[in-house]
Structure 1
Amino acid sequence: MENQRKPDKRKKYSWPAYVANVRHRLRCPVQLPVLTPTRNLAYRCAEPIDLGCGELRPVALPMTALEPVTDPDQARREPEVAILAAAIHRTEDPVVIRSLQPAFDAIDAEQRSRYSDYLGAALPAAARKLLEDILTVSYEWRSDVGRASYAEGEAKGKAEGKAETILTMLESRGLTISEHVRQRITECTDIDQLDAWARRAATIDHAEDLFS
């Protein structure tokens, strides 16, 4: 599975290598699914790659094809799909937002925090407030031990989620991310600092400027 955010001519050489390697290791037929943020990019990524002795046809899947989930049972069965679809469409539909509760019920605390942070960055303000109210009520802990354990997992997951958001923003803007920059972002646990970097990531010209 390849996640493709923008056109990249190098992929016509690296993708066949991925497929050949997996086919060699698993000894089975292989297809290359490519996830894209738009239908236009999916169309471009689906173009056959001439190998000189045949061709490779990537299976491009635009993320916008995911329909918002309104069925709580489906959200429980496919939590990642429900969360991702809501974020991609930036939905304000309260039926969709309320269906996210069973989706969050189906994933563990660390992932829950990461996904809630991801949705918080994607959803409009009104939808984000409704989601926060729903999750606050849903995950009210009765014991001090449970509350402390959950809070620790939430803090860790929230920091990781914000770090991932910053890296995604930098990558989507085509900025080169050195190992030093990536390590400093992913190792930071200060939420306020991560928030400041996230705001700065939208305007800087070089990834290193994030820390200026």
Structure 2
Amino acid sequence: MIMQRPAFALELLGLGLRASPDAYTDARCESVELNERRPVEYAADSVISVRGPDGGRRFVIVEMQNTYKEEKFWAWAAYVGGLMGRYRCPVMLVVICLDQADADKYRRRFLPDDSCIVLAIVVVGPSELPLLRDREDVLASPELATLAAVAHADLETAAAVADIVVTLGDERSSIYYSYLCMHLPESMRARLEALMAKSVYEYSDRFTQIFENRGRGASLVAVMGARGMELDDVHRAQVEACTDCDQLQQWIVRAATATSVEEIFGD
């Protein structure tokens, strides 16, 4: 979602800090590789550069976490330190966690013993994400509306958001609707798709591609699982955002013989 609208990172920052982000402007997507050798563990989900109150640029790293992983603190310390050392500017880290219990675990300062570095994370969990249902609110930030609907797993809200995002008229329609369906509980997803059947029919050409891509994405996950490989958060986001049927099919073919995730997604 941040790739579609980089300024969404500032909305998340404001929600996490419970403060207005208006002093930060000119959000731009930057390279997610935070280390010149680029190992997978040092590729952030999203890196945004913004102009601060003093006119200088700084970075906002945005990470999506589906589960709690203690080792992520060490990777995040490398993310932040790497950017600060390379560009000599402030760096802020925003972690989105759609499970409240996991979000609360991340909501602490990371201070290893005998270390002079303190990592303070800006956490955005369900408690920071407001439910948006009114058309005006959803259109103002369809990214926030979609994320909040998933975080709260509320069918009425999900249906209201889905009914609006399918009318956006650009690639966001397929990306956000697909994200909404893929991240809701299975039983709720089926009910949402039933409620959306008429709207999907009205946008049949666009949604034919959505469902085909979702099927290919599911096939890719299944093939990787059968071969003992797990789709990490970075590559999961890449698969979810992909609207190229041929690219998805190529990843599936690679997964059938690959011995690592890097072999599947490498150029």
**1:1-212 counterparts in 2 under 5 A?**
1-50=62-111, 52-63=115-126, 65-93=128-156, 97-106=159-168, 108-109=170-171, 111-121=172-182, 122=184, 123-137=188-202, 139=203, 151=205, 154-164=207-217, 176-177=229-230, 187-188=248-249
Considering fraction of residues, name the structure with more strand.
2
Give the secondary-structure state (helix, strand or coil) at the position aligned to 2:155. coil
Name the amino acid aligned to 1:50.
L
> What's the offset of the Cα at 1:163?
4.5
Q: Which runs of 5+ in 2 are unaligned?
A: 1-61, 240-246, 253-267
Normalised by the size of structure 2, how large is the TM-score? 0.51
Aligned residues of 1:91 and 1:127 also touching (Cα < 8 A): no
SS of equivalent to 1:31: strand
Residue deviations 1:133-183 (CA, integer Å, cap 9, x gap) = 23434x37xxxxxxxxxx3x5444434334445677999xxx73389xx99
Identity, in percent, stands at 22
Q: Which has the higher helix share?
A: 1
For the Cα contact (< 8 Å) 1:97–1:131, is it kept in 2?
A: yes
Q: Secondary structure of 2:159's match?
A: helix
Distance 1:132 1:18, change over 3 A: same
CA shift in 2, pair 1:35/1:136, >3 Å? same
Asked whether the 8 Å contact 1:48–1:57 carries over to 2, the reply is: yes
Q: Give the alignment's Cα RMSD to 1 decimal.
A: 3.8
Cα displacement (A) at 1:75 = 0.8
Amino acid at match of 1:2: E
Residues 73 and 102 in structure 1, CA contact (< 8 A), matched pair in contact too:
no
User: CA 1:66/1:58 → structure 2, altered by over 3 Å: closer, same or farther?
Assistant: same
Q: Distance in 1 between matches of 2:219 and 2:151?
A: 17
SS in 2 for 1:119: helix
Matched residue, 1:208: none
The one-letter code of the counterpart of 2:94 is P
CA distance in 1, matches of 2:214, 2:75: 28
Q: Which residue identity is paired with 2:101?
A: N
Runs (5+) with no aligned partner, structure 1: 141-150, 194-212
Q: CA–CA distance in 2 between the matches of 1:103 and 1:166? A: 25
Structure 1 residues 96 and 14 mapped into 2: Cα distance closer, same or farther (>3 Å)?
Answer: closer
- Cα deviation code 1:21-42 (max 9, x no counterpart): 2223443211211111222211
- Looking at structure 2, the residues matched to 3 and 162 of structure 1 have their Cα atoms a distance apart, in angstroms, of 23
Q: How does the TM-score come out when normalised to structure 1?
A: 0.62
Highest Rg: 1 or 2? Answer: 1
1:86 Cα deviation after fit: 2.3
DSSP-derived class of the 1:54 partner? coil
